Amino acid sequence: MNKTIEILLRLIAFPFMAAIVLIHHIRIYITVMLGYLIYGGEAIMYSKKVNKKRIYEVFLKVSKMVNNE
User: Domain limits of the chain?
Assistant: 2-68
pLDDT of residue 42: 65
Are 33 and 21 in contact, with CB atoms under 8 Å apart?
no
Whether 20 shows a pLDDT value over 80: the answer reads yes
Whether 48 shows a pLDDT value over 70: the answer reads no
Q: What's this model's pTM, rounded to 2 decimal places?
A: 0.56
C-alpha distance from residue 30 to each of 25, 40, 41, 42 (Å):
9, 14, 15, 15
